[in-house]
Structure 1
Amino acid sequence: MILSWKAPIYYNDKLTGSYDKERGSYETAGSNFDYLDLLQGAPFPSGMDKPPVHFVCPRERLLKYDCLWLLGEVPLVSARLAEFLAGAAGQDVELLAPACIMAGGEPVEQPFYIVNAAQQVQTVDLERSIAERDDKGNIIYFTSRFFRDDAMAPRQVARDAQSGDLLISSELAGLMKAGRFKGDKKLGFYRAEGRWEEALE
């Protein structure tokens, strides 16, 4: 089964990291960083700056979690979870150290890593799925999605080519749950087919 890995419903906005000091900033001043490159399902561009990451919450609050979220549905994980992902899905993800991490205006010295899915996959079964399209026939969004069961194999993590959603195998998600990794409002695994439903949580 293919799952979507995304920020949980009712996730605390103060635990969402931005890419500059201004809350909700998708851009970093004086930098060539572009967060959209983290949604492509491709290796992080070699000449692009790593972004700073800023949180509103106090540093102590941040350190309670293994999985946090940055703007654009990009996961930021603790060193413990990063080590797990490197071992279980190292061929599928890049773990990028931010330029710096700030929480409540204080530097966070403990390491956290941006998870970049380095692969893109064509997973959606277009014959079974229902989509809204523009005048040229391009997909705007799916109202109901179904996936080809074998589309992810052998990958464990990837970006969906149509939607840009971060996808994860149910096997890897189950191992993360068994490892007791902690996130605010759970880890954010959802059944990706049809309507969104929580999975494995």
Structure 2
Amino acid sequence: MIRIVMAEDQKMLSGAMASLLKLEDDIEVVAEVADGKQALAAIEAKQPDVCLLDIEMPYVTGLEIAERLREQGSSCKIIIVTTFTRPGYLQKAMNLKVEGYLLKDEPIDFLIATIRKVVNGERVISTDLAAALFLNEASPLTDREQEVLRLTKSGMTTGQIAKTLFLTNGTVRNYLSSAIQKLETESRQQAVRIAEEKGWI
């Protein structure tokens, strides 16, 4: 029996997927959760064979969960499901060596087949996502610029970012200015949006 923890914040989609998976004789959905914190707790409590993770969830994202599981050396197979074809997300998933990376509009039969394949040691990527990987656009931002944009996205002011990173206000402004120029935008908010869309932050 393949034991699965499902983490999906859209309840209707989650319910439909779980119902269809439960029809399979060799698959058992041991937990259905709606956010990243619950997902981590369920994975720890249930020790599933496979975790099916939405990429964007409240509190902790699917990629952050994948990262934690890899750091812990968990044997749980990871399948990321997403509506996004962002190359940055896909590249991070590949770096984390997730076993599956699927678009949500794939047929349920494809998902079921993927679950069985990853349990048997295979990796599966939706065809459209594999194409996006070949077109992967490298981030022009430095690690520090990405970090400053991430903190800007979280709502921090220049002063708060400076304190957090032990930098001067002027240095933070320089990083923001550089990121804005590289992304060809007019404001830090636009730079955050572009970097997020590309999956760079």
Fold conserved between structures, TM > 0.5: no
TM-score normalised per structure 1: 0.28
TM-score normalised per structure 2: 0.28
Give the number of the structure whose residues are more often helix, by fraction: 2
Task: Indicate the structure whose relative CO is greater, using CA pairs within 8 Å and at least 6 residues apart.
Answer: 1
Give 1 or 2 for the bigger CA radius of gyration. 2
Give the number of the structure whose residues are more often strand, by fraction: 1
